[in-house]
A and B are shown apart, each in its own frame.
Chain A
Amino acid sequence: MSPEAQIHSTKPAAASNLYTALLAIAFGVVLATAAFVAVKCYFIYETLFKIP
Chain B
Amino acid sequence: MSNLTKILIVLLTLSAILLCGIVVTYVANADNYRQKYASLNSERDSLEKDKESLNNQLKEKIQQKDDLEKSLNGQLSTLKTRADDLQAKIDTVERERAELLERVNGWASITKDFQATTEKQTELLSTAQEDVKQLKAEEIKLSKDLEQTSATLIEKTAIIEAAEVEKRRLVEEKADLQNRLDKTMQAGGKVAAAGTPVTQEKGYALPAQTTAAAINLKASVSEVDAKNSLATISIGSADGVKEGMKFHVTRGSEFVCDVLIVDVDTEKAVGVLELVQSATGGPKVGDNAATNL
Give chain A's interface residues, CB within 8 Å of chain B.
15-16, 19, 22-23, 25-27, 29-30, 32-33, 36-37, 40, 44-46, 52
Contacts and interface: CB of A to CB of B under 8 A. Distances in A.
A22 B24 CA distance: 20
Nearest to A32: B20
B23 A33 contact: yes
B23 A26 contact: no
A26 B17 contact: yes
B28 A22 contact: no
Interface string B213-226: 00000000000000
Contacts of B27: 36-37, 40
Contacts of A52: 34
B23 A40 contact: no
Contacts of A29: 16-17, 20
B23 A25 contact: no
Given A15-B1, A52-B34, A37 B23 contact: yes
A19 B34 contact: no
B38 to A, nearest CB: 10
B20 A45 contact: no
B30 to A, nearest CB: 8
Q: What 8 pairs between A and B have smallest CB-CB spacing?
A: A33-B20, A15-B1, A26-B16, A26-B13, A22-B13, A19-B9, A29-B20, A40-B27
Given A40-B27, A45-B34, A23 B13 contact: yes
B40 to A, nearest CB: 14
B13 A44 contact: no
Highest count of chain A CB atoms <10 Å: which of B6, B13, B24, B33: B13
